[in-house]
């Protein structure tokens, strides 16, 4: 009988210990309810700011990465004790237990300024901003008060080729959850958290540099399969500043070839045009159709540094090869030269041999 009572006491003690050390109950992070009975009310929350890390200057056509660092400069404004709750629990459970639980709650309440489950989303302020944000959302674990992200948030972007120079605004929206309040209840110390959602918005600026920007405005070609011909290309500086000592260059591939692949354009101010003339050989096997020939312009910037334009294209048309007899029909001069060659060659050889004999 005595052993039975001992066993019952052991089981009761184990059940009591299991209750005391049970897992904390957590309210839904997005629940708008509140904890009504606790020892302290805490006032404060995170405050997230965003700054660009590194360079925020880009060029037209750039594919780069925008680095953004987040800083949590939130603060706790104060605590307020619920003396009625403390007095009631002290009367029921004694001061030692209750004051220990109250100290635990006060320590948990200090987490009110920590931002958790953070998301940063980058977007355009104006729809006409000339860039593409390739990846616009980044996830961050948590950020304590007074801390900044160890590694900056990375957003790959692409600047459009036709972007105008200037300052452009981007917006980063930061959402997170934070602990608005906590409660530790007597006598077993169950812990409750009241998590709510917070958000911050920051505007950041990027700059697209002033630079020359070239377009092919006109192409004229006189190209026939199996022959050499001329390609005339007109370039215009539609950028923001002057390009100095500009040199245009073409890059040919089959069925084209050339030893005349460069043309000096000189200084080209904004809005100015220059025309380059190239001599191009066309292979006799070339198909009669339109082709794109790659161009680029090498120039000096305002600091004397060598720069290159983006790849340009000149569209040319190749005419089919002209049969020999058609050439003769189109140009009697060719026929006359052929006849003179046929008749003149034997006469020339006869005179030359006779001259040698006389000598």
pLDDT score, position 322: 73
pLDDT score, position 129: 95
Averaged pLDDT for residues 11-30: 35
pLDDT above 80: residue 210: yes
pLDDT score, position 134: 97
Q: Report pLDDT digits (tens) over 175-205.
A: 999 999 888 888 888 888 888 999 999 999 9
pLDDT score, position 267: 98
Q: Is 214-319 the same fold as 22-208? A: yes
pLDDT above 50: residue 26: no
- The residues near 184 (Cβ < 8 Å, ≥ 6 apart) are 38, 39, 101, 102, 104, 105, 108, 190, 191, 192
pLDDT above 70: residue 93: yes
pLDDT above 60: residue 18: no
pLDDT above 70: residue 88: yes
pLDDT score, position 7: 31
- Report percent pLDDT > 90 for the chain: 65
Strand order across the 131-133 sheet: 48-53, 63-72, 153-159, 131-133
> Between 359 and 145, whose confidence is greater?
145
Averaged pLDDT for residues 117-130: 96
pLDDT score, position 341: 64
Averaged pLDDT for residues 235-257: 96
Q: Which of 31-40, 56-65, 80-89 has the lowest mean pLDDT?
A: 31-40
pLDDT above 60: residue 112: yes
pLDDT score, position 13: 38
CATH topology of domain 22-208: Immunoglobulin-like (2.60.40)
Read off the pTM: 0.70
- Report percent pLDDT > 70 for the chain: 79
Q: Where are the chain's structural domains?
A: 22-208, 214-319, 324-358
Question: Which class in CATH covers the domain with range 214-319?
Answer: mainly beta
pLDDT above 70: residue 25: no
pLDDT above 60: residue 58: yes
């Amino acid at each position: 009988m005595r052993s039975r009572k001992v066993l019952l006491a052991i089981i009761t003690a184990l059940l009591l210990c299991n209750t005391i050390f049970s897992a904390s109950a957590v309210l839904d992070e997005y629940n708008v309810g509140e904890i009504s009975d606790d020892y302290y009310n805490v006032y404060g929350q995170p405050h997230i700011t965003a700054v660009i890390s590194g360079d925020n200057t880009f060029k037209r056509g750039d594919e780069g990465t925008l680095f953004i660092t987040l800083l949590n400069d939130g603060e706790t404004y104060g605590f307020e004790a619920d003396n009625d709750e403390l007095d009631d629990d002290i009367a029921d459970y004694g001061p030692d237990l209750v004051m220990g639980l109250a100290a635990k709650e006060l320590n948990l309440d200090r987490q009110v300024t920590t931002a958790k489950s953070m998301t940063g989303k980058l977007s355009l302020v104006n729809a006409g901003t000339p860039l593409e944000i390739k990846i616009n959302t980044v996830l961050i674990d948590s950020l304590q008060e007074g801390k900044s992200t160890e590694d900056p948030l990375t957003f790959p972007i692409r600047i459009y080729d036709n972007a105008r120079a200037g300052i452009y605004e981007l917006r980063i929206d930061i959402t997170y959850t934070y602990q608005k309040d906590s409660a530790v209840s007597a006598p077993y110390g169950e812990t409750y958290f009241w998590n709510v959602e917070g958000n911050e918005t920051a505007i950041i600026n990027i700059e697209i540099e002033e630079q020359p920007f070239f377009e092919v405005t006109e192409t004229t070609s006189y190209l026939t399969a199996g022959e050499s011909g001329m390609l005339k290309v007109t370039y215009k500086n539609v950028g923001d500043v002057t390009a100095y000592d500009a040199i245009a260059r073409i890059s040919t591939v089959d069925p084209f070839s050339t030893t005349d692949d460069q043309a000096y354009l000189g200084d080209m101010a904004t809005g100015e045009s220059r025309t380059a003339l190239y001599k191009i050989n066309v292979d006799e096997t070339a198909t009669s159709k339109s082709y794109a020939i790659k161009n680029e312009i090498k120039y000096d910037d305002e600091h004397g540094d060598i720069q290159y334009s983006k790849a340009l294209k000149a569209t040319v048309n190749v005419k089919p090869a002209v049969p020999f007899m058609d050439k003769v029909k189109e140009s009697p001069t060719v026929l006359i030269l052929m006849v003179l060659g046929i008749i003149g060659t034997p006469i020339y050889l006869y005179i030359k041999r006779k001259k040698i004999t006389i000598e």
